[in-house]
Amino acid sequence: MALIDTHAHLTDNRFARDLDEVLLRAEESGISAMINVGYDLPSSRRCVALAAKREMLFATVGIHPHEAAKVGEQALAQLRQLALSGKVVALGEMGLDYYYNHSPRDLQQELFRRQIRLAKSLSLPIIVHDRDAHEDVLTILREEGAETVGGVLHCFSGNRNFALRCLALGFHISLAGPVTFSNSRDLAAVAEAVPADKLLLETDAPYLAPVPYRGKRNEPAYLLAVAEKVAALRSTTVEELSDCTTENAKKLFKLEIKGNSGA
């Protein structure tokens, strides 16, 4: 078995002291690769640097909607430059967050559109953050023709109907820790509904640790708990789920995995 954590933030300060142990535990838990996701320019730079040093790590570069109000003139040009580095497999995370509203919504939308255009010009898939902004996310994806590069609705938080609309646009759905929470009836329905060739798994570490680690710092090794829950919901085995989600991740992000420990 070889799972891929398609979304983690290993540049977070909470991993500064024990990243080696975290990566070792991931490997021991059957994680063959991790996509380390940037959320602003400094973290994107660190993701690229870390991926160059660690075989199991891939990188993305992008600016989270929280940062939309702080983005300078040169930010997109810098992102483009970074995206040309080796092992950058997607643009993001990008999107809309109407829950926290750390940045005005019009600025979030503008930044989201600009990053989709950049991804299209680079032919890279996108990683989309959507919190309480389902309709506007879908509208912007559609208006910008984002399906030409495709991508994933990460840490999916909508219901079954919204999932089906994202799938119809050609997007993948990624499930994270919340699918293991006891009150996640909508996500359970989503886990059952997503076709096997469109499903991805992630931790979003250090956030949103799955049951039974809920409340702790999340880390890629805990992906197994997400996989077990999703497999149960789909009446399949973890091995089968692992096979298809790993295949999906390799295909979408064009991952070249060397020295596969799970093989």
Q: Which stretch binds Ni ion (CB under 5 A): 42-50, 70-78, 198-206, 239-247?
A: 198-206
What phi, psi does 153 have (nearest 5°)? Answer: -85, 105
**Who contacts 81 (Cβ-Cβ below 8 Å, separation ≥6)?**
none
Restricting to residues 106-165, which ones interact with Ni ion according to CB under 5 A? Answer: none
Minimum Å gap between C-beta 61 and Ni ion is: 13
- Closer to Ni ion at the Cβ: 204 or 219? 204
- Closer to Ni ion at the Cβ: 67 or 204? 204
Per-residue binding string, Ni ion, 1-40, x by CB under 5 A, is ----------------------------------------
Restricting to residues 200-259, which ones interact with Ni ion according to CB under 5 A? Answer: 204
Minimum Å gap between C-beta 154 and Ni ion is: 6
- Closer to Ni ion at the Cβ: 97 or 204? 204
Distance CA 87, CA 220 (A): 19
What phi, psi does 82 have (nearest 5°)? Answer: -65, -35
- Closer to Ni ion at the Cβ: 1 or 89? 89
- Closer to Ni ion at the Cβ: 5 or 204? 204
E strands of the chain, at which residues?
3-8, 31-37, 57-61, 88-97, 126-131, 151-153, 172-175, 199-201
Minimum Å gap between C-beta 179 and Ni ion is: 15
- Closer to Ni ion at the Cβ: 144 or 204? 204
Q: How far is CA 23 from CA 7, 39, 142, 258, in A?
A: 14, 21, 37, 16
Q: 138 with 105: CB under 8 angstroms?
A: no
- Closer to Ni ion at the Cβ: 1 or 34? 34
Minimum Å gap between C-beta 210 and Ni ion is: 15
Minimum Å gap between C-beta 161 and Ni ion is: 24
> Residue 165 carries which side chain, given as an amino acid letter?
R
Distance CA 56, CA 164 (A): 32
Minimum Å gap between C-beta 64 and Ni ion is: 7
Minimum Å gap between C-beta 204 and Ni ion is: 5
- DSSP symbols for 108-171: HHHHHHHHHHHHHHHT--EEEEEES-HHHHHHHHHHTTGGGT-EEETT--S-HHHHHHHHHTT-
Taking CB atoms, the residue at the shortest distance from Ni ion is 204
Residue 187 has which token pair? 């996500």
The count of residues interacting with Ni ion (CB under 5 A) is 1
Q: Which residues bind Ni ion (CB under 5 A)?
A: 204
